[in-house]
Homo-oligomer: A and B are copies of this chain.
């Protein structure tokens, strides 16, 4: 791997290395720009993101006594280098710290990471900076779970309410939930934890599939995939919509005709509409009885989603959103106003496990069901842990809830998800299921990885070192 040929990409490993310290002192933090060429197959295409190359900024934290924590945040290709640069900018807050101190007062550390006095300006708590925060924080949780020899869901489910609540920064959300209320809720639900854990281990947690309906797929592909997932026991299917109404009707009709009226159909517009347009379009699709319309408009538009929710409620259509919801403050408003009926937490966009726990607590208090967003790279691996926390410690039911499932990109992980009869089976390996296999990490690091070098040589992708000069569009 020759980095010297790519001066414009941040190096994956810098010398932020602690000189002294022992035990759980964090001696190093590395971050890599990982990309996979998924745009070649139109996998993952939607109305706004037509050619994604599923990617991630991949962080590894090393302690003096050689424990490791792996964490990532999902990206779509270009721009992963920007997130990598942001991880570097945050790493001075992590390297040199004793991980035990971090875990003992994790909420305070999380605030420190998201409130760095100069870096805060270029967020705050959103976009590139928050994606970088998520990658680092997720690596810390993986480290903690490995040290405890537990899968992450079990680490959290075994916590005393006070310890769990101490991981959360309640800044800006105390008007909806206070630490005291959170402790009270968790304490009330605690007696059932053992039973819920046994049930989860036996039955797993229900999944739905998004794989039948990417915009780029042909009718034949849709039909074949519907039959495939029906035969695997899936009962809920999601379609992408929003680019062409007639085409949406054709595909909704096709899927509904194959899965029948007793199965669940959801549709997802990926933010393609304005508010009034979303309402008008969904009235046209109401005949296909979708459970929800996902991301009807801008992910920042709480009041817009509220208007869509009110307009579509009489038609029996709910609103789901969350995968691009910036942080707990935005989730708070969606939840408290009634702008979302399904809360789709994302494991990599908001600032890692700590902040997601806050969202689960607010959703539980306000009676909104959480159905995590997944797919991409590593999102399925991570959200299964989080939803198991909800199942064991909070809602204690999976009624009307499911985790999104896409069976792509799992082969790159040391501990990939295990979905059986349309259910996620609880992971048992210590950690957060976030470690990439060595071959994946070496082959797909952008742009120096061996697989990328092959793709450049084959002409399927352009080597960034050969595109410094761009032709003008005219003449």
Q: Which residues of A contact B (CB under 8 A)?
A: 7-8, 10-11, 14-22, 25, 48-53, 75-79, 81-83, 85-86, 88-89, 92, 95-98, 101, 115-131, 171-175, 271, 274-277, 297-304, 307, 324, 326-327, 329-330, 332-333, 336-337, 468-475
A469 CA to B120 CA, complexed, in Å = 23
Report the separation of the CA atoms of residues A472 and B100 in the bound assembly, to the nearest whole angstrom. 13
Between-chain CB contacts (< 8 Å), 5 pairs: A49-B120, A77-B118, A86-B128, A126-B127, A301-B329
The complex places the Cα of A129 from the Cα of B98 at a distance, in Å, of: 33
Per the bound structure, the CA–CA distance linking A52 and B17 in Å amounts to 26
Please, how many angstroms separate the alpha-carbon atoms of A52 and B121 in the complex?
10
Ordered nearest first, which 10 A-B pairs have the shortest CB separation? A127-B127, A21-B472, A15-B468, A128-B128, A78-B118, A96-B472, A175-B275, A77-B118, A172-B298, A76-B121
CB of A303, distance to nearest CB on chain B (Å): 5
Q: Which residues from B are CB-within-8-Å of A470?
A: 16-18, 92, 95-96
Contact between chains at B175 and A15 (CB < 8 Å): no
A269 to chain B, nearest CB (A): 13
| Chain B residues, Cβ within 8 Å of A475 | 20-22, 25
A326 to B277, CA, bound (A): 23
CB distance from A98 to the nearest CB of B (A): 5
Chain B contacts of A125 at CB under 8 A? 300
A50: chain B residues within 8 A (beta carbon): 117
CA A10 to CA B6, docked complex, whole Å: 11
A78 to B175, Cβ gap below 8 A? no
Contact B127 A123 (CB under 8 A): yes
B471 touching A18, Cβ below 8 Å: yes
Q: Given A82-B82, A469-B19: A276 and B127 within 8 A (CB)?
A: no
- Distance, CA A78 to CA B171, complexed state (A): 23
A206 CB to closest chain B CB (Å) equals: 27
CB distance from A190 to the nearest CB of B (A): 27
- Chain B residues near A118 (CB-CB < 8 A): 49, 51-53, 75-79
A301-B85 in contact (CB<8A): no
Q: List 10 extra interface pairs beyond A17-B469, A17-B470, A52-B121, CB under 8 A.
A: A7-B11, A10-B85, A20-B472, A76-B120, A78-B116, A81-B85, A98-B472, A124-B299, A128-B128, A171-B298
